[in-house]
Structure 1
């Protein structure tokens, strides 16, 4: 198979697939999903590219995109690539301060914005900026500021470039594309300092296509991918580009809150996701099982046991299950498992990659047992996503899979840090030579910041983010993510932030699953006029304490959470407690809840 530069990828695929559908998107006015063909997609990209050239966009100029997932997002990115320009994605949830930082750091003159929220923030930045010159608005329903004379709606923008000069300019640029051109600059979340711009080349994405073709032979142009995670996230971006490489159809989910509805309407065969999605699936099924009685409860339990034996004890090891197990599995797969997957909307599933944070073995085993084709992976923005993922057979549950073809991975003997080398590794941190130097070893390996080990030659087991490791005042090292992953298995716990740095024992701030706790309280005749009174109730706290103790039974005594506080409000991005990828900003949480934390350590 040929591996194309992103500037020509869609156009090459359009010559093959022509009138076949490449994009689906929900039209909220008509309340239905609409389609765009490969030919039309290619045509729209060229119109966008011409308009950019007409607007004065130069080669390797940085073009910002501040939007939720929309089909115009992809038109803008691939229009930029046709001009040999650089895409700089900004999360749709970013604050004006975050937008301003990226605009200034990347010197963005042209910024594409999605809906009213993004336009309002971007216009505020533009009013105070000497850098940002123009906003181009995707959503025609956006109301512009009365004093805004420079912004233009996307449909009007792409109509402005259809002239011979722009067409010739783009044609010349397309003929001069290079694999070593910068494709995009993706800014990290900045959990431990100011954000850094990760510079990724077109050659990195072309290598992504090659190594995923080798690792994922099941996928084809017949697949339908649900675009769920933000396109500003490297996992979704690299995956979406790969699905275009394969010739798949992509359904674009604009509103993350609508994903459950979208999945049921689209019934995708593939979708990349983060553990939080599957944790919710697991909790929902567990509640169904817990509320069942008699024969139905036995049926659910036996089906999961049967699936675990069939898929994990035999199939995963390339072995043929016993006849009795095969017959039972066939029955359950076409009844219990199929109904479960139909309720979610994934009964046609071929492959569901999952990465971004740890998924507990308990949930992973359950999903494998009910025959959901989940594959766990590991990667970073700096490695253009995937470093490892599960192979088709012989994957190890507690691992993040085996090293992708073409990559070298080794472990730093000093601190067990995972080191990576290969064509998918970033070129540099944008305008940060000192940070770039620190990120690489003398022999050219990228320092991931993750501790791990290599088993059986190329299977990677993650231990912890090195910067997240705590050392208690008793001299014990604590890996907070491992503890959080265990405890978050409980259906009554939504989010947890473990505390342990330079204190005498481990504690935790816990955001309970309010719906589940409120239901339990009502069943036990506990009155709670306010949520604050609910989370402070002695009986509720005793119940949570008991469940925490059960979840952390496998931990060493010094690792166990000794005290905790239930919070009446969740951690949010708006309050700065979560990154755009929903990771907890430990420093922010520690500062914001200092009084509560200090109280847990009072004798």
Structure 2
């Protein structure tokens, strides 16, 4: 099922193309127009394993035929729980080809969340990566009446392996498969993705083939990635940001390489030498912190040159509009310092796309000035996901760009909430018609829950989440996100959450940058952190308060942090305090650190400081 379109040009190749209307059409589309020997690749046992476009199509077809032999029927829900790997694509596309709906789930959520999702979606079969995930799902199997069986992607003793379904493939069912594929319409539900949720119960977002492919089509019009490029994928493919990116890569014939893990990204960058990749701000922050640590350990005069280059980059114009004298100095900085940054990213990177959370403008300026072009976009699971995006040739650092083709936005005149409309907007929330009505109004506008402003009447800037803005007891409203993003520029602060709802003043819970502070303590001969612990050290508290005071100057009096408490461990996805895209789960953090919050707002509290 294809729609004919006119001849278009892709890089140097001109071919007659037809636009896919179902997600599983993408491999056929790639095979017909730019077949690759390395369509998708991952690393197993220290060796990169590649699959050609034709091999991918063959495995996907066998998997679909095996599912039919197994008795799977169109419309049934099948779950995938796995880090990024080639099997993810085989299972995903194979499920979609038989008219089923796939339910991708994060590998690092709680057993209780798995139980809720599986029951809500009425999952029939689950495909899990490894022994640990198998045990988690097996432990809830008796509580999920719909669940028939569990298959593993790793080969495990005594467990059903996904390749057993390939072995079931019966060519006599080929005609039936083709008939089913013909019945799958572009407006059919392709996937149900459960939102990670910073607040409240997870909701299943129903996305159609058309929803996601409309996003792919729009991205193709604004991104320069071509069929001669390599991409490295390491963000969770179960999240719509990376998943749509992978479909996009397939649609333009780029070679997709899956990183071994987040911890191995640095090594994999050097091996694959990607031209592009997507990322989230937190990972860029970690890369930046490592680079800065190297710079601080340089000996003079190299350390001075490094500092000069970084300071120069920090003054890069938000739109790249710099004068000849600045450009001359930047040329020298790139030759002397920044070329090593490029090498650390593989040496051939042309651009990075950042999303899922707000990127610190400082990082955008510095990396772009260094020659690592970063563009930031914005969207939600409910919008498949991209709504707006900066372009590599037209950007404004500190904003999320302007709408992609075929998508509209407007701001609510009273609240500033961002509303959007387009073919990318979800079908609705699964089993939650009332929530769907609240999210999508009668005119078809989806209410994002985010607050924004327009810069130069063109570029959208996200200022906060509508639900996260709180009111102080004096009646003044505070948006915590801009304050948090600015405070995290400090080398001493790893993470921070601003609090103060119904209180007299703003305060904060602060996760210190443990490794950096330890070295700072050793350098400054601070000893009390050894006896008291870092979060109880008077010297550490004084130093972090100095940092907070420095950044407080950027905000109005009511927005300034008056007190803070240090927490003794990092907030992570595994601890349940961050979403899989590394956003704060404010409700969980408030619950976990209730004692510290009570301490901050205790009338008797004299710890920390007030202005």
Deviation at residue 143 of structure 1 after TM alignment: 4.4
Write the distance in 2 (CA, Å) between the matches of 1:530 and 1:103.
47
Equivalent residue, structure 1, for 2:317: 312
Structure 1 residues 245 and 490: alpha-carbon distance in aligned structure 2, compared to 1, 3 A threshold: same
1:6 aligns with one of 15, 23, 28:
23
Give the RMSD, CA atoms, in angstroms. Answer: 2.0
Equivalent residue, structure 1, for 2:577: 577
Equivalent residue, structure 2, for 1:41: 56
Deviation at residue 107 of structure 1 after TM alignment: 0.7
2:283 aligns with one of 269, 277, 285:
277
Write the distance in 2 (CA, Å) between the matches of 1:521 and 1:455.
42
Q: Secondary structure at the match of 1:312?
A: coil
Deviation at residue 49 of structure 1 after TM alignment: 0.9
Deviation at residue 186 of structure 1 after TM alignment: 0.6
Per-residue Cα deviation, 1:143-166 (whole angstroms, up to 9, x for no partner): 44xxxxxx520122211123413x
Kindly indicate whether the alpha-carbon contact (under 8 Å) linking 2:35 and 2:253 is maintained by their aligned counterparts in 1.
Answer: no
**Aligned pairs for 1:130-529 within 5 A:** 130-140=145-155, 142-144=156-158, 152-165=160-173, 167-216=174-223, 218-292=224-298, 294-304=300-310, 312=317, 316-317=320-321, 322=324, 328-343=329-344, 345-527=345-527
Per-residue Cα deviation, 1:184-223 (whole angstroms, up to 9, x for no partner): 111111322111111111111221122112111x210111
- Aligned length, in residue pairs: 586
Write the distance in 1 (CA, Å) between the matches of 2:143 and 2:388.
43
Structure 1 residues 57 and 476: alpha-carbon distance in aligned structure 2, compared to 1, 3 A threshold: same
Q: Secondary structure at the match of 2:276?
A: coil
Deviation at residue 17 of structure 1 after TM alignment: 3.7
Kindly indicate whether the alpha-carbon contact (under 8 Å) linking 1:417 and 1:452 is maintained by their aligned counterparts in 2.
Answer: yes
Per-residue Cα deviation, 1:318-344 (whole angstroms, up to 9, x for no partner): x8x53x65555444434422212212x
Write the distance in 1 (CA, Å) between the matches of 2:440 and 2:90.
34
Equivalent residue, structure 1, for 2:551: 551
Deviates more, 1:360-369 or 1:537-546: 360-369
Deviation at residue 428 of structure 1 after TM alignment: 0.6
Residue segments in structure 1 that go unaligned for 5+ positions in a row: 145-150
Residue segments in structure 2 that go unaligned for 5+ positions in a row: 1-16, 604-611
TM-score of the aligned structures, taking structure 1 as reference length:
0.93
Kindly indicate whether the alpha-carbon contact (under 8 Å) linking 1:7 and 1:84 is maintained by their aligned counterparts in 2.
Answer: no
Kindly indicate whether the alpha-carbon contact (under 8 Å) linking 2:451 and 2:465 is maintained by their aligned counterparts in 1.
Answer: yes
1:25 aligns with one of 27, 42, 47:
42
Q: Secondary structure at the match of 2:277?
A: coil
TM-score of the aligned structures, taking structure 2 as reference length:
0.92
Structure 1 residues 531 and 69: alpha-carbon distance in aligned structure 2, compared to 1, 3 A threshold: farther
Per-residue Cα deviation, 1:119-145 (whole angstroms, up to 9, x for no partner): 1101111133211111111001x344x
Kindly indicate whether the alpha-carbon contact (under 8 Å) linking 1:532 and 1:568 is maintained by their aligned counterparts in 2.
Answer: no
Kindly indicate whether the alpha-carbon contact (under 8 Å) linking 2:373 and 2:392 is maintained by their aligned counterparts in 1.
Answer: no
Structure 1 residues 421 and 66: alpha-carbon distance in aligned structure 2, compared to 1, 3 A threshold: same
Deviation at residue 182 of structure 1 after TM alignment: 1.1
Kindly indicate whether the alpha-carbon contact (under 8 Å) linking 1:316 and 1:394 is maintained by their aligned counterparts in 2.
Answer: no
Kindly indicate whether the alpha-carbon contact (under 8 Å) linking 1:270 and 1:351 is maintained by their aligned counterparts in 2.
Answer: yes
Q: Secondary structure at the match of 2:350?
A: coil
Per-residue Cα deviation, 1:245-300 (whole angstroms, up to 9, x for no partner): 11011111242222222222212111111000111122223333344454323433
Deviation at residue 303 of structure 1 after TM alignment: 3.6
The alignment status of 1:80 with 2:95, answered yes or no, reads yes
Per-residue Cα deviation, 1:350-404 (whole angstroms, up to 9, x for no partner): 2211011112222211111111110011100011111111123442222111111
Kindly indicate whether the alpha-carbon contact (under 8 Å) linking 2:375 and 2:395 is maintained by their aligned counterparts in 1.
Answer: no
Kindly indicate whether the alpha-carbon contact (under 8 Å) linking 1:521 and 1:527 is maintained by their aligned counterparts in 2.
Answer: yes
